[in-house]
Structure 1
């Protein structure tokens, strides 16, 4: 190190800083955080958070491709814990910085990062239900490993857990029910596939509305999804 300093005519501390202490370029650091741009695919915890974030993105997310891409997930003000869970997932998957931008009735949880397009190749112009939504093979493997996390993201965005009330022969019965509503037939198909992976019985009430209502079937999403809060 001393020879290098003498050769270039720099003080020794300066040469040492440039050779050893200089931080990596920010873009390189970000690439190391992106599990698609490094050798290791990520820990199971990170992949579970990614599956959750993918579900949120397919429901209420939007990826803007600009000089620095920005991922935005829109969360209703009524669910503060969901907003926090979304922010935590972004930080765990890639982001070092996440902002909350207040809108009318909702919060846009957003993060700027060059590598968001690596993780969400479904981005594109137009509304999701007006274009094909197909998971890449590596995304399908993550969902197959973490179907509960993926379903939690889907139901936290475009789904809900409700108490269904029916009256039979003058007696009222109340039972829990999960509903998922989405205009995209591709996204609806992904929800059905994830439910099948966990052996959860479902049926379609309408073209764009899925229901999980059988008592034994509801117990599984109760474990993985639960009510919004």
Structure 2
């Protein structure tokens, strides 16, 4: 992880407050654009000037339009591996999706979904070791993600509200894509068989969704069933954390709508 001096950060904030564009500040100081955006968010949040701190646009509070397709995907990302944080001293909470650097396409998809769900708020990427945190700040995060609460998701009950379930019912594949992109994968398994006295190797693709929360796994499997995907549960030791899709027709259906991460 690359650290920047306090002087560099203060210079950046001075330029940003003066109206200099994020990209120009990043080039001038040789600091990643995502870091500049992150510093700007924190500075504006501390001073109560973050767009989410006073922007009334919220589908749940004032009936503003909601991009339901993007929301279904973002909801899947959040339930799988997302986190809403309330940092001490910051007035505005943030939604953070951690994306492995091996999957730049996933990072782009998460960023686009946030931009579509929160069109009045700026999305930023914060570089970490081997990954980036894709983040958006808004005072309305808990309006749109009422599953947020103290403790880990698998340690508390997780249930969709009626309006959320309607969106998932209308956009099931986007919801599943978010779950798979966050806590799932598409892999190639192999086995051997004796054919005519000769041992032959066979390979076949398979999807997994792994999550400790019984409730979140059930949301996944219920949605899989609704779209016609056959699934099974595989135990990790004695814990049934893995949802598996291995039947050829179901894998083909998943490939048509989701595909491997990239």
Shorter-normalised TM range? 0.7 to 0.9
Which residue is 1:218 aligned to?
251
2:233 — aligned with what? 204
Q: 1:94 aligns with which of 118, 138, 141?
A: 118
Q: Deviations over 1:172-207 (max 9, x none)?
A: 111111011111111101100110110100001110
Correspondence for 1:174 among 203, 213, 223: 203
Question: Is the CA contact (8 Å cut-off) linking 1:69 and 1:117 kept in structure 2?
Answer: no
1:116-135 superposed matches below 5 A: 116-135=141-160
Q: Which residue of 2 aligns with 1:72?
A: 96
- Aligned-residue offset at 1:37: 2.5
Separation in 2 of the partners of 1:183 and 1:112?
27
For 1:56 and 1:27, the matched residues in 2 are separated by: 21
User: How many residues matched?
Assistant: 200
Large movers: runs of 4+ above 6 Å:
none
Kept in 2: contact 1:60–1:75 (CA 8 A):
no
The equivalent of 1:159 in structure 2 is 184
* Counterpart Cα distance in 2 of 1:179 and 1:98: 29
Give the 3-state SS of the residue equivalent to 1:31 in structure 2.
Answer: coil
In 2, distance between residues paired with 1:37 and 1:153? Answer: 25
Whole-angstrom distance in 1 between the partners of 2:210 and 2:52: 38
RMSD (Å), alpha carbons: 1.6
Q: Which consecutive unaligned segments of at least 5 residues does structure 2 have?
A: 1-50
Matches within 5 A, 1:33-112: 34-39=58-63, 41-42=65-66, 46-65=67-86, 67-95=91-119, 96-112=121-137
Which ranges of structure 1 fall in alignment gaps of 5 or more residues? 1-25
Aligned to 1:139: 164
- Does the 8 Å contact 1:159/1:179 carry over to 2? yes
Structure 1 residues 84 and 166 mapped into 2: Cα distance closer, same or farther (>3 Å)?
same
State the SS of the aligned residue for 1:133: coil
Q: Distance in 2 between matches of 1:52 and 1:118?
A: 17
Residues 27 and 113 of structure 1: CA distance in aligned 2, closer, same or farther (over 3 Å):
closer
TM-score normalised according to structure 2 size: 0.73
TM-score, normalisation: structure 1: 0.83
Distance 1:28 1:184, change over 3 A: closer
Q: Distance in 2 between matches of 1:27 and 1:102?
A: 22
Distance 1:69 1:201 in 2: 38
Match status 1:228 vs 2:261: yes
SS at match of 2:230: coil
Work out the CA distance in 2 between the residues paired with 1:116 and 1:28: 11
Q: Return the offset for 1:217.
A: 0.6
Quote the offset at 1:27 in angstroms. 6.1
